[in-house]
Amino acid sequence: MGKHKSFILLGAAVLIALITTVLIVRVLQRKAYEKDRASIETQPIAVAVVDLAWGTSLAKEMIKVVPFPKEYVMPGCFSSAETLAGRVLIYPVKMNEPIFESRLAPQTIQTGGVAALISPKKRAVAVKVDKIIGVSGFIHAGNRVDVLVTLASGRSLTPITKIVLENILVLAVGPDLEKKGKEPTPVDVITLEVTPEEAEKLALSATEGKVQLALRNFNDTGDVLTRGITVPTLLASYTGTSPEHKNVETARKPKGARPSASASASAPAPSPSAPARSAGMVVELIKGGKVQEVKFERSE
């Protein structure tokens, strides 16, 4: 019994020694970490407290100051919230992201909104669209779109749909109410950044026809030239006479290839060089319920 008791005491002593050793190591590691952290030179920088959209006029409550390693601080940062108060964002900023001078409008602009986002020599034009025309709510500020217009038929105008503007920047998207009938219907007002000439095209399109927006990929910046689509051209799509069908057939047919058997069969056979059949005339004679054919040969 005495031996078992001594083993128990020895095991307890070893366990206590291990726990003490682990605690001492952790304390030493924490002190070393705090020492290294204290030796790193930091600099206060201003970051966003929450996600901020472009066009936002900054307030002190939207900004906080956090320490940041000085060697990793990029030029253009701010060290106090008071310096940023009243400045306007021209690019969105995420939560805890530093606010740079390049993301701000000039200091002369103190009022937020769309006016602060417009590039020099450009204009902001709003277009009222429904949910379907607005690509079912998938268009957001910062996207780029193409503008299509469908002009209604008139006395001297054939119905046509045509792309009139391409790669247009969306400045803002906001809801509005349009009264149709007894209850107002929610619609979207999409504000586009355009040149003065593009503004004229957009205004005429919205007045004389129906405007449709096509959302573009961010990496797709090229312009595409189109002729527009009319009703006859639309109905001729994917038929034997349509340009699409001809292009496909031309692409499939190798150069110098002979006509296929089906094409030869469908083509009218040339008249044989053998003597032609003697021309004549066949007349049907109907007598009561009997039908009789009488052939008259033509004399040479």
3-class DSSP assignment, residue 285: strand
Q: What is the pLDDT of residue 198?
A: 94
Instruction: Find the length of the chain.
Output: 300
The confidence score (pLDDT) of residue 244 equals 56
Per-domain residue ranges for the chain? 43-111, 118-223
**Amino acid (1-letter code) at residue 215:** L
Q: Give the pLDDT confidence score for residue 135 in this predicted structure.
A: 58
The residues, ordered by sequence, that sit 6+ positions from 224 with a Cβ below 8 Å of its Cβ are 163, 166
Structure tokens at 68: 């940041």
Indicate the SS3 state at residue 223.
Answer: coil
Question: What is the block-wise mean pLDDT of the chain (300 residues), using blocks of 10 residues?
Answer: 70 85 86 69 89 85 88 85 86 89 78 73 84 67 89 72 92 62 60 92 90 87 86 81 55 53 47 48 63 64
Helix ranges (DSSP H) in the chain: 2-39, 81-84, 196-208, 231-235, 243-252, 261-266
Amino acid identity for residue 1 in this structure: M
Residue type, 172: A
Say what the pLDDT of residue 178 is.
47
Which residues, in sequence order, are bridge partners of residue 68?
43
Q: If you compute the radius of gyration of the chain from its CA atoms, what whole number of angstroms results?
A: 40
Torsion on CA atoms 175, 177, 178, 184, rounded to nearest 10: 140
Of the candidates 180, 161, 120, 169, which has an alpha carbon nearest to the alpha carbon of residue 142? Answer: 169
CATH code at 43-111 = 3.90.1210.10
Q: Which residues face 282 on adjacent strands? A: 295
Residue in the structure block whose two tokens are 């204009």:
123
- Helix residue ranges, H only, 99-258: 196-208, 231-235, 243-252
